Structure 1
Amino acid sequence: MAAKTTKKNEPQKKLQTEIGKEAVAHDKTSQSEISLLLKKAKKATWPADISPMLATLVDEPFSDPDWVYEVKWDGYRTIAYIDNGKVDLRSRNNKIFTDKYYSITEIFKSWNIKAVIDGEITVINKNGVSDFASLQNWRSETDGELIFYAFDLLWYDGKDLTQLPLLERHAILNHIFSQNNDDRIRISTIFNTDGIEFFEAAQKLGLEGIMAKKANGTYDIGARSKDWLKIKTDKRQEVVIGGFTNNEGSSKIFSSLLLGVYQGKEFHYVGKVGTGFSSKKQKEMMEEFKPLITKKNPFNTEPDINKPSRFRPNPPKATATWLKPELVCEVSYAEITDDGVFRHPSFKGMRSDKKAKEVHLEVEKNTENIIADTGNTQSEEKKDHIVKASENKSVKTLLNPTEKTQVKKVKGHELKFTNLDKIFWPDEKLRKRDLINYYFQVAPYILPYLKDRPQSMNRFPNGIHGKSFYFKDVTGKAPDWVKTFLYHSETDDRDRHYLVGDDEATLLYMANLGCIEMNPWSSTIQKPDHPSFCIIDLDPDKNSFDQVIEAAQVTKQILDDLGIPSYCKTSGSTGLHIYIPLGNKYTYEQSKEFARVIVTLVHNELSEFTSIERAIKDRKGKMYLDFLQNRPHATIAAAYSVRPKPGVTVSMPLHWDEVKKGLKMSDFTILNAVERLESEGDIFKPVLGKGIDLVNVIKKFSEGF
């Protein structure tokens, strides 16, 4: 049988390209060194029925010099028993694979060795990625390229190797493989590299996940070890099929599968899945279902299969057919709800290699705790070398740190970034490229607040201490691909084409013009005279920031008493901004007058240091409670916008419990904003929501709250 070659699609080769060939832990060990390693191992008789060592699922990747990394293969775990021409392939629960995957068996038969190898059988698709669905449907070599990835050696030539360190076992395995000339049997490459970068490269290539393994760890037969950790690029879970449903009026063989997992002896319902299988697959599955049909509900409680949801308040009427819980499948999902049900599951394939009774809900463990458990003798100095993904070690940037002019393609548009070395913040020595890289990183977070909104661009081409100017009318000055909005101003009887916030390319185009801050309208081009939110701007003069905080707290209390939700962010300059969602239901005039009422109530409580006088001279150094930001087309820095101020500050949304004494404007800059966003997410999102009912608010106010 001729050897096949598919190395052009080898995912490990692609990873080497992504992270550098020097990351591969090459095991070029001489025969004499191999002999010394084997002498360390204990003599042992030929093993049988080995239960493989299992990995612990953790929640995020990490980097640690004592750990190495491998690809997590999306296939069937397989132990290969090779005895000088006799070959036995078995699954993790001892199911025989020898005849089913005959092409792998035939190759191993040609190996004149006595060894037990732990690995994974996969099918590699045309993109070089292991494809579980193709493996499940594999019947012959015309169904796809069957590959065996070997990642451990448990027994060899009369010696038990399980108590040797991983890298020594791998060295012996590499030595054995040096005589292999068939590319369908491959070594699972060990990468001695940065684990976070390795995970990101695996994500980019569409791999299922990565394995992190303790370099000096032993092999614990049958154990779920903390020396092997798996980190998945998407959420997957093995589940047991406890029945199926048929929707009223549907022509499908079945509408969804009813899924469960075992908790002890009890079979618990975890949801239903109705996507991911073709008509052909449904027919095959129904043949497996028929002998398992039963009248008895197998779950510990009867599932509510017609339960309405927020998105489906009137679901189609369904009937259930129960099955004995013996068949195992795998699903992907977005998350697990508080009541233990999968959200947005999708069927990935049947798992003939797993026993139903062994299927339990696999919950991600905290990476930091697991690493601490495996290294409980490590020093504090050693712990400092462990880097987790949440520490945001390797945030991607758009522009390189050296070239003054760079051309990048963004969202299909070619952008030329110029004068990148120009200093924008002299004290911090931050340049124009730092500003552009920041907006590239926060684009997913800031764009919802710019999308479909005309922009009042304020350009600072020479940084925060240079002259600035507004650039509102882009008629004949913007690229053809930029979205614009024609608006006629009654004030000066002029037509202007405003640039409209649209996508990442538009955002970076503005940043390249020197727009340090992003100043969108409060309304969108769909309803230009109806703002999305009402804004109260707490603008201090000779006040302390603690007084600004006090004013914000009083404002929130008044709004709470009226049943009005509110959301606070730093201005990035000197004050705080409080937003109230309106949902584009009211005019600017209505928004302004509503804000006037609120700030008047605040001023009545804090008149000793606040003012609602428009003229600066009339405020007498007091904090201005600005409600006029709600006039048509007045603008204010968007959430996550940088401000043209010393300190490179950012307008940052806050949890209300953060609005307290000790808060400083300098707490949030372009140097830490991305890390905060990755930790907290976009907590400002509700300001773009449905909006309050002003009629009810006015009624409540007239009744004295």
Structure 2
Amino acid sequence: MKPMLPSLTFDVPAGKDWMYEVKYDGFRAFLEWDEDIRLTSRNEKSLLEIFPEIHSYLLNNKETFKPYLPLILDGELVSLENTYKANFGSIQIRGRMRSEQRIIEKAKHSPCKLLIFDILKVKGKSLTNEAYTKRKEILEDLFNDINLPTTPDPKSNQLLQLIPPYTSFDEIWEKVVLHDGEGIVAKQLKNKWEEGKRSTLWLKYKNWKYVSCFVTAYEKSNGYFHVAVYNENQIHPIGLFLFGIKPDEKQALAQIIKQNKTGEDQQFTHVEPAICLELKYLEMYEGQMREPHFERFRFDLTPKDCKYEDFIQQQKNLPTDVDITHPNKPLWETPPVKKMDFIHYLREVSPYFLPFLKNRLLTVIRYPHGIFGEAFYQKNCPDYAPDFVSTEVHEGINYIVCNNLKTLLWLGNQISFEFHIPFQTISSNGPSEIVFDLDPPSRDFFHLAIKAANYIKEVLDHLGLISFIKTSGNKGLQVYIPLPENTYTYGDTRLFTEFVAEYLISKEPESFTIERLKKNRGNRLYVDYIQHAEGKTIIAPYSARGNKQATIAAPLFWEEVSEDLRMEDFQVTNMLKRINKHGDPFRSFFQAKEEQNFSPVLEFLKQQK
């Protein structure tokens, strides 16, 4: 099938005749399911071989879908980053894969989602002549009937999810901008689905970024203009553009370049930095602007005003009510990280970070001068905190509860490096997870943490328990066992943590200890099972640490826990590349809470007492 396509608009579609959907950056895909399952691209190429996780998911749920077949769904195949944004770079890498082994590995660690926005056939009946609102109603009923997610959720293990409609443009646009989404598709209420047509009844309105830059060359063969900014005193190319500039403006610009050229070859006419202009684009991908459009000439600027640091800062539409002060303040030296770099890290990692901060009493460690000065703990929310910061009073302390991106970015502007959280949420009656903190005497003995973690994994696997592991970001490792909420007490979990600690000591008493006094531990690893208690805290997954290496409390895949593991491999500067390449090791953490079969283990331990 050929898809119905939206037309690009630079004006906000408004009025009562429109509804709005989030636009996601992925591969347009048709799911056609009769006797066989077909998933095809807009060019009618099969996608099932490249995305086997979708095929497996559908086959595993065949009986659920069976009453609705034959079925045709229209959607977008994405690498979902957050509820409002798909990761373009990740889906592009995936689409180019041809190695079956790499595809299977990627499907396991970073499964893609099929986001559905339209239904063209159900129970063999064509719906293409029905109005958009009717099709959407039928689609929503289908998702509700078979208990599929009715809004995109990157943490869900359900790979088929619904893109819901919104009646208010402003409501959804604020969320798209805040979460750095691609944009919105406005759909006319009564439109019918028209195969192969680019329609003005569907309008795409994009979340543009803006950059001030200067022209460096004109490409003769295709008419593109190449642009750059200054990175200190060096010219830094950022891409090329053609669209958006009027014919007379384009002709005049080409003529000026020709008259003032500094060099010429068969392909390019080069010019010294002089002509400044403003472009809009979606994002940077492989060093180039995606979908750049000319916006206007900037006769008020000189090339020296077109700075790389401004370009980097403008790549993210940060919330206007979060004021980023002193963006160029150095926070770490090796690797070099400025304040704005850290803010960008928090923004990009937020889909993975925020779920662990949600509804937890937060203690932060702030570094007002980066690692170059003194740090201090902060529990009480300061009086100057903005209204969007939620708080919870507990034992006389008015704690911050970091439930949204704005709060996270505000804390980043306060130069809060470390985020420490308790083992339960504000609404939990007991622990939300068990965590073993494996603390070697120094980084020189990190191998003991690796050994202890692997011993624990053997025990947990034998008991049928689901576990996750992360670095502490300093010198140790931390093993997590998710638990269902409001089910167990700290007394219950103490039985288990003590049992595991004693097991480790029985295995290698010369390597492990539960001795509280450091002077009596020697060079043994301390298994801190007492620390897992009400009121105690632990560093949150994906939090930075206040050390010289800018390391992260980094979630790991269990197969990474070997003698090759190094704490310095997980830093503020490389963590996002790691997630994009390998996926999130804690992706299924919250699903595991409901699947965890801890009760039989606990009952056995109680019987031994």
Normalising by the smaller structure, the TM-score range is 0.5 to 0.7
Q: Give deviations 1:253-301, integer Å, cap 9, x for gaps.
A: xx9662379xxxxxxxxx9x996479xx978859xxxxxxxxxxxxxxx
The percentage of aligned residue pairs carrying the same residue is 28
Aligned-residue offset at 1:343? 6.7
Aligned-residue offset at 1:660? 0.9
Cα distance change, pair 409–284 in 1 and its aligned pair in 2 (3 A): closer
Aligned-residue offset at 1:425? 1.5
Name 1:522's counterpart in structure 2.
Answer: 423
For 1:463 and 1:576, locate their aligned partners in 2 and report how far apart those are by CA, in whole Å: 25
Equivalent residue of 1:415, what SS? coil
Is 1:535 aligned to 2:535, yes or no?
Answer: no
Equivalent residue of 1:603, what SS? helix
Cα distance change, pair 466–530 in 1 and its aligned pair in 2 (3 A): same
Is 1:669 aligned to 2:603, yes or no?
Answer: no
Is 1:427 aligned to 2:327, yes or no?
Answer: no
For 2:284 and 2:527, locate their aligned partners in 1 and report how far apart those are by CA, in whole Å: 38
Cα distance change, pair 580–497 in 1 and its aligned pair in 2 (3 A): same
* 1:592-631 matched pairs, under 5 angstroms: 592-631=494-533
Counterpart residue type for residue 352 of structure 2: Y
5+ residue gaps, structure 2: 29-42, 52-66, 74-113, 131-141, 165-186, 198-282, 291-306
CA contact (8 A) 1:453 1:521 kept: yes
Cα distance change, pair 400–627 in 1 and its aligned pair in 2 (3 A): farther
Name 1:216's counterpart in structure 2.
Answer: none
Cα distance change, pair 204–344 in 1 and its aligned pair in 2 (3 A): closer
Name 1:217's counterpart in structure 2.
Answer: none
Counterpart residue type for residue 428 of structure 1: P
Name 2:463's counterpart in structure 1.
Answer: 562
Counterpart residue type for residue 557 of structure 1: E
For 2:470 and 2:422, locate their aligned partners in 1 and report how far apart those are by CA, in whole Å: 17
Aligned-residue offset at 1:442? 0.8
Name 2:600's counterpart in structure 1.
Answer: 696
Q: 2:378 aligns with which of 466, 471, 490?
A: 471
For 2:507 and 2:346, locate their aligned partners in 1 and report how far apart those are by CA, in whole Å: 40
For 1:442 and 1:230, locate their aligned partners in 2 and report how far apart those are by CA, in whole Å: 32
Equivalent residue of 2:422, what SS? coil
Cα distance change, pair 697–229 in 1 and its aligned pair in 2 (3 A): closer
For 2:601 and 2:393, locate their aligned partners in 1 and report how far apart those are by CA, in whole Å: 35
Aligned-residue offset at 1:422? 2.5
CA contact (8 A) 1:641 1:651 kept: yes
CA contact (8 A) 2:496 2:605 kept: no
Larger radius of gyration: 1
Cα distance change, pair 127–599 in 1 and its aligned pair in 2 (3 A): same
Aligned-residue offset at 1:691? 6.2
Aligned-residue offset at 1:568? 0.6
Counterpart residue type for residue 401 of structure 1: E
Q: Give deviations 1:364-405, integer Å, cap 9, x for gaps.
A: xxxxxxxxxxxxxxxxxxxxxxxxx99865799xx9825999
Q: 1:553 aligns with which of 431, 435, 454?
A: 454
For 1:614 and 1:334, locate their aligned partners in 2 and report how far apart those are by CA, in whole Å: 42
Aligned-residue offset at 1:419? 2.8
Cα distance change, pair 393–453 in 1 and its aligned pair in 2 (3 A): farther
Aligned-residue offset at 1:662? 0.8
Equivalent residue of 2:369, what SS? coil
Counterpart residue type for residue 432 of structure 1: K
For 1:404 and 1:481, locate their aligned partners in 2 and report how far apart those are by CA, in whole Å: 26
CA contact (8 A) 2:366 2:377 kept: yes
Cα distance change, pair 435–123 in 1 and its aligned pair in 2 (3 A): closer
Q: 1:438 aligns with which of 330, 335, 345?
A: 345
* 1:60-75 matched pairs, under 5 angstroms: 74=4
CA contact (8 A) 2:423 2:537 kept: yes
Aligned-residue offset at 1:575? 0.7
For 1:345 and 1:610, locate their aligned partners in 2 and report how far apart those are by CA, in whole Å: 51
CA contact (8 A) 2:544 2:550 kept: yes
For 1:471 and 1:522, locate their aligned partners in 2 and report how far apart those are by CA, in whole Å: 18
Aligned-residue offset at 1:74? 4.6
Is 1:633 aligned to 2:539, yes or no?
Answer: no
Counterpart residue type for residue 674 of structure 1: L
Equivalent residue of 1:418, what SS? coil
Is 1:258 aligned to 2:70, yes or no?
Answer: yes
Aligned-residue offset at 1:560? 1.5
TM-score calculated relative to the size of structure 2: 0.53
Q: Give deviations 1:125-150, integer Å, cap 9, x for gaps.
A: 79599xxxx9xxxxxxxxxxxxxxxx
Equivalent residue of 2:531, what SS? helix
For 2:539 and 2:392, locate their aligned partners in 1 and report how far apart those are by CA, in whole Å: 20
Aligned-residue offset at 1:550? 1.0
Aligned-residue offset at 1:458? 0.9
Equivalent residue of 2:539, what SS? coil
Name 2:168's counterpart in structure 1.
Answer: none
Equivalent residue of 2:417, what SS? coil
Q: Give deviations 1:595-647, integer Å, cap 9, x for gaps.
A: 22211211211211111111212212311111133122322221111111122
For 2:70 and 2:416, locate their aligned partners in 1 and report how far apart those are by CA, in whole Å: 54
Name 1:583's counterpart in structure 2.
Answer: 484
Name 1:267's counterpart in structure 2.
Answer: none
Q: 1:401 aligns with which of 309, 315, 321?
A: 309
CA contact (8 A) 2:474 2:551 kept: yes
Q: Give deviations 1:480-516, integer Å, cap 9, x for gaps.
A: 321000111xxxxxx1100001111111111111111
CA contact (8 A) 1:581 1:686 kept: no
Aligned-residue offset at 1:466? 1.6
CA contact (8 A) 2:334 2:548 kept: yes
Q: Give deviations 1:11-53, integer Å, cap 9, x for gaps.
A: xxxxxxxxxxxxxxxxxxxxxxxxxxxxxxxxxxxxxxxxxxx
For 2:448 and 2:144, locate their aligned partners in 1 and report how far apart those are by CA, in whole Å: 44
For 1:283 and 1:561, locate their aligned partners in 2 and report how far apart those are by CA, in whole Å: 51
CA contact (8 A) 1:390 1:679 kept: no
* 1:319-398 matched pairs, under 5 angstroms: none
Name 1:455's counterpart in structure 2.
Answer: 362
Equivalent residue of 1:444, what SS? helix
* 1:124-143 matched pairs, under 5 angstroms: none
Name 2:547's counterpart in structure 1.
Answer: 645
Cα distance change, pair 257–588 in 1 and its aligned pair in 2 (3 A): same
For 1:228 and 1:351, locate their aligned partners in 2 and report how far apart those are by CA, in whole Å: 16
5+ residue gaps, structure 1: 1-53, 56-72, 76-121, 135-202, 211-226, 236-254, 262-270, 287-308, 316-332, 355-388, 489-494
Name 2:227's counterpart in structure 1.
Answer: none
Equivalent residue of 2:393, what SS? strand
Cα distance change, pair 404–312 in 1 and its aligned pair in 2 (3 A): closer
TM-score calculated relative to the size of structure 1: 0.46
Aligned-residue offset at 1:344? 5.5
Q: Give deviations 1:646-681, integer Å, cap 9, x for gaps.
A: 221111111111111111111111222111212333
Equivalent residue of 2:394, what SS? strand
Counterpart residue type for residue 599 of structure 2: V
Q: Which moved more, 1:598-607 or 1:475-484?
A: 475-484
Counterpart residue type for residue 259 of structure 1: L
Give the aligned CA root-mean-square deviation in angstroms: 5.1
Name 1:496's counterpart in structure 2.
Answer: 397
Counterpart residue type for residue 510 of structure 1: L
Counterpart residue type for residue 698 of structure 1: L
Equivalent residue of 1:676, what SS? helix
For 1:517 and 1:571, locate their aligned partners in 2 and report how far apart those are by CA, in whole Å: 11
Equivalent residue of 1:666, what SS? helix
CA contact (8 A) 2:4 2:193 kept: no
Counterpart residue type for residue 475 of structure 2: T
CA contact (8 A) 1:569 1:639 kept: yes
CA contact (8 A) 2:441 2:525 kept: yes
Counterpart residue type for residue 606 of structure 1: E
CA contact (8 A) 2:472 2:554 kept: yes
Cα distance change, pair 352–559 in 1 and its aligned pair in 2 (3 A): closer
Q: Give deviations 1:130-178, integer Å, cap 9, x for gaps.
A: xxxx9xxxxxxxxxxxxxxxxxxxxxxxxxxxxxxxxxxxxxxxxxxxx
